[in-house]
Amino acid sequence: MTEEKIRCLAKQLEIDLVGFFAVEPLTECLPHLLKRHQAGLSTGFEGGVPIERIDYRSAYPFAKAGIVIGVNNYQTFEGIVDGQLRGHFASVSWGEDYHRVLRRKMNELMQAINDERQNSGELPMNYQVFVDNSPLVDRGSAYRAGLGFFGKNNCLINHHFGSFFFIGQILVDTYITFTKPQLVENGCGTCRRCLDVCPNQALGEGFSLDPSRCISYLTQKKSLTPDEENRISTYLYGCDLCQQVCPYNQDLKKTREKAFWIEAETASPPLSEILMLTNRDYKIRYGKTASGWRGKKNLMRNAQLILKKA
């Protein structure tokens, strides 16, 4: 199975980005992971210690090659001005849960690949897909595959899709013939827009992130200190501030993945509606989104904190 053939199949499935990577340990990410771990800046959501996070075969012992995909999730709305106090959901939680969407895309891609192999009289590839559901560093794999560079906002930035794309990776038990990708040179330069826009200065020099100051992390954290509560002011779940100001995220095209499409009212609901959610309402409205895993309690707490500061 060649790179060219897989790229062709991915294009037919409307996968925006596809790359390939070797499954030797991801040592290029280890110094940064160790530094964060030793400084106590891990969120607890990552799972695994740094040495485990760079070892592909600890996640899939039969891995011989890796495929990484990216799916554009960008869309934008006019702000709603109707006198109601509203909170915001970050783009990561718009539409259907991206974990489900990307797993579906990757399984469809592998089905297409294995159909081609079967037609050629070859055995199917065995594989395993990952979307933020293992200790593996998805952005590290995408960087190795040449899909972008690490920005000062800690996101992977692509020259066509900015940082508004979701990443999924596939480990396969069969070798793939591909040209070693050229790593994308860092393009941040002296720009500080993301660092300066963060109201809590969560982003630091040297591509660092302090979770205790990061709005996105705090909206998802179960228990908050009084200082952390004071840092939640507009977002009900996640945060897009550091992405919105990035020069690479201007004038992007709307995602063609309809599973992510929503209306402005869904992205910025009235706080009064959130505070009146029943368990049934919550499951219907948010249970199948990426914010659904955290539960109603966090959402209502965040709404109360936003209302308190209004």
Cα–Cα dist 266/40, whole Å: 35
SS3 21: strand
Cα–Cα dist 31/60, whole Å: 23
Backbone angles phi, psi at 156, to 5 degrees: -85, 130
Q: Say if strands 88-89 and 235-237 run parallel, antiparallel, or are unpaired.
A: parallel
Cross-strand pairs, 127: 172
Whether 16 is catalytic is no
Handedness of CA 228, 231, 237, 241 (dihedral sign): negative
Cross-strand pairs, 203: 209
Tokens of 87: 């909170």
Of the residues 55, 82, 132, 227, only one is catalytic, namely 132
Cross-strand pairs, 255: none
DSSP 8-state code for residue 158: B
Strand (E) or helix (H) holding 71: strand 65-72
Tokens of 101: 């969407």
Cross-strand pairs, 171: 66, 128
Cβ atoms of residues 158 and 47 within 8 Å? no
| CA dihedral of 235, 238, 244, 245, whole degrees rounded to 10 | 90
Q: Enumerate the active-site residues.
A: 132
